[in-house]
């Protein structure tokens, strides 16, 4: 489990459900995957642009997606 300075926890932001988006990790309560968020960031979108386009997301969701990716990368090594 990853905790953030503001008290948010990684496990509280993501779900993995076999019937939802092919079982890929999604933002809890939304049909937005972690890879969607990472792709938008990789394409150059700012946090503010993502939040404006997807008002159900929060800055904590974006940070949790990044933390999830970093944690997964560490576990692969």
Asked whether residue 1 is domain-assigned, the answer is no
Number of domains in the chain: 1
Containing structural domain, residue 41? 10-70
* Tens digits of residue pLDDT in 18-71: 777 777 788 888 889 999 999 999 999 999 999 999 999 999 999 989 988 888
Instruction: Establish if 75 belongs to a structural domain.
Output: no
Q: Is residue 57 part of a domain?
A: yes
- The predicted model scores a pTM of 0.75
Domain presence at residue 76: no
Would 5 be classed as within a structural domain? no
Query: In CATH, what number is assigned to the domain containing residue 64?
Result: 1.10.10.10
Asked if residue 77 is part of any domain, the answer here is no
Annotate 12-37 with b (16+ C-beta within 10 A) or e (fewer). ebbeeeeeebeeebbbeeeebbbbbb
Q: Is residue 63 part of a domain?
A: yes
- Which residue spans within the chain are E strands per DSSP? 14-15, 26-27
- Does residue 21 form part of some domain? yes
Q: What H or E segment, with its residue span, contains residue 67?
A: helix 59-76
**Residue 23 has what pLDDT?**
74
């Amino acid at each position: 489990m990853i905790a953030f300075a503001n008290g948010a926890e990684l496990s509280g932001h993501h779900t993995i459900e076999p019937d939802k988006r092919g079982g890929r990790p999604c933002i809890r309560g939304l049909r937005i995957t972690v890879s969607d968020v990472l792709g938008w960031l990789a394409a150059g979108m700012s946090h503010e642009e993502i939040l404006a386009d997807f008002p159900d997301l929060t800055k904590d969701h974006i940070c949790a997606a990044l933390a999830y990716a970093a944690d997964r990368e560490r576990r692969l090594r």
